[in-house]
């Protein structure tokens, strides 16, 4: 009897091991297929960013060459005009030189304005690349929970209250830390960027413990997010500003439940690099 049992196990063992091996192989094959799909999607996004940046650089270079040609043409026209006036003896040599300097100044100011416009266009293009990187890092998160946009040359990241905090609390949830980590990964790779974390509430009066009102709640929520970015993800604190805006900058009316939910949010504002424009001004 024992001999029969041994013979039966010996006969079916290869079949059992074959089934287990096939299952593992199928699971590995499915995982490989998913990883390949994710890689292809990320590679596509990277290619889109590179094409956008390359097109922007080519456009700026073409504009710079065109502006340079216009300036040189303007100078030639100015010199021709001044020489014609001198030949006609309408003006003296000193007057001609004064007119020439005035025309040169006009050309320089025009070039300066063009430089500022190019700088603004370059910043807008870099902002768009930053937005694409943020959206790629965060992935397919519900648009109701997080919204990334550019308005008037400034990048805004709005994160809903229900994603970050429990009702009436300023303790950051574990799910929120995961999202903030993805945002931090993009921001830390842009060392020239400074940003402000703003806390916003709805208009319902709030008072609990040491928190006296919505001002206190909005500030505490902003500083809670700032500490996560600094302590957990290593963003230098000198690049961060924390601010509480209370209930006074609503996105929607506070008369409805949906409107109040939209107004309870934390906003990360990528601050404009105004020092670059001041440096341009100082050179003139």
Q: Residue 246's pLDDT is what?
A: 94
Is 121 in the same domain as 249?
no
Is 165 in the same domain as 134?
no
Last-in-domain residue among 121, 139, 157: 139
Is 93 in the same domain as 202?
no
pLDDT over threshold 70, residue 170: yes
pLDDT > 90: percent of the chain:
24
Average pLDDT score over residue span 256-267:
92
- Asked, for residue 4, whether it belongs to a domain, the answer is yes
- Asked, for residue 284, whether it belongs to a domain, the answer is no
* Coil vs helix vs strand at 86: helix
- Asked, for residue 103, whether it belongs to a domain, the answer is yes
- CA dist 159 and 138 (Å) reads 12
- Asked, for residue 84, whether it belongs to a domain, the answer is yes
- Asked, for residue 170, whether it belongs to a domain, the answer is yes
Is 146 in the same domain as 130?
no
pLDDT over threshold 50, residue 74: yes
Which sign does the torsion angle of CA 120, 126, 131, 134 carry?
Answer: negative
- CA dist 43 and 275 (Å) reads 34
Comparing CA positions, the residue from 278, 252, 250, 269 lying closest to residue 151 is 269
Average pLDDT value over all residues in the chain: 75
How many separate domains does the chain show?
2
Please report, for the domain that includes residue 217, its CATH number: 3.30.1330.60
Is 149 in the same domain as 119?
no
Q: Which domain holds residue 100?
A: 1-139
Residue 80, token pair as written in the block:
């021709």
Is 126 in the same domain as 185?
no
pLDDT over threshold 80, residue 19: no
Is 233 in the same domain as 122?
no
Which sign does the torsion angle of CA 232, 234, 235, 237 carry?
Answer: positive
Q: Residue 147's pLDDT is what?
A: 83
Is 147 in the same domain as 269?
yes
Last-in-domain residue among 90, 111, 139: 139
Is 79 in the same domain as 173?
no
Last-in-domain residue among 84, 107, 139: 139
Q: Please, which pLDDT band fits residue 191 given cuts at 50, 70 and 90? A: confident
Average pLDDT score over residue span 192-213:
90
């Amino acid at each position: 009897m024992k001999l029969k049992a041994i013979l039966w196990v010996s006969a079916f063992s290869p079949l059992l091991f074959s089934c287990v091996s096939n299952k593992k192989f199928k699971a590995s094959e499915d995982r490989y297929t998913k990883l390949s799909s994710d890689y292809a999607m990320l590679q596509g996004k990277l290619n889109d960013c590179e094409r956008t940046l390359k097109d922007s650089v080519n456009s700026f270079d073409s504009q710079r060459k065109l502006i340079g040609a216009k300036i040189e043409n303007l100078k030639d026209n100015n010199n021709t005009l001044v020489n014609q006036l001198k030949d006609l003896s309408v003006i003296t040599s000193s007057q001609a030189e004064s007119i020439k300097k005035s025309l040169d100044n006009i050309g320089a100011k025009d070039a300066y304005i063009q430089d500022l416009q190019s700088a603004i266009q370059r910043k807008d293009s870099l902002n768009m690349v930053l937005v694409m990187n943020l959206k790629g890092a965060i992935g397919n998160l519900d648009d109701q929970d997080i919204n990334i946009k550019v308005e008037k040359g400034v990048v805004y990241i709005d994160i809903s209250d229900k994603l970050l905090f429990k009702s009436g609390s300023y303790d950051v949830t574990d799910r929120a830390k995961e999202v903030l980590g993805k945002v931090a990964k993009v921001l830390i790779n842009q060392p020239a960027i400074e940003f402000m974390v703003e806390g916003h509430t709805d208009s319902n009066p709030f008072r609990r413990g040491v928190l006296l009102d919505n001002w206190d709640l909005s500030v505490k929520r902003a500083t809670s997010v700032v500490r996560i970015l600094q302590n957990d993800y290593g963003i230098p604190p000198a690049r961060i500003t924390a601010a509480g805006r209370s209930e006074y900058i609503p996105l929607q009316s506070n008369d409805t439940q949906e409107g109040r939910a939209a107004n309870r949010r934390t906003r990360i504002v990528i601050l404009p690099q105004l020092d670059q424009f001041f440096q341009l001004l100082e050179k003139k």
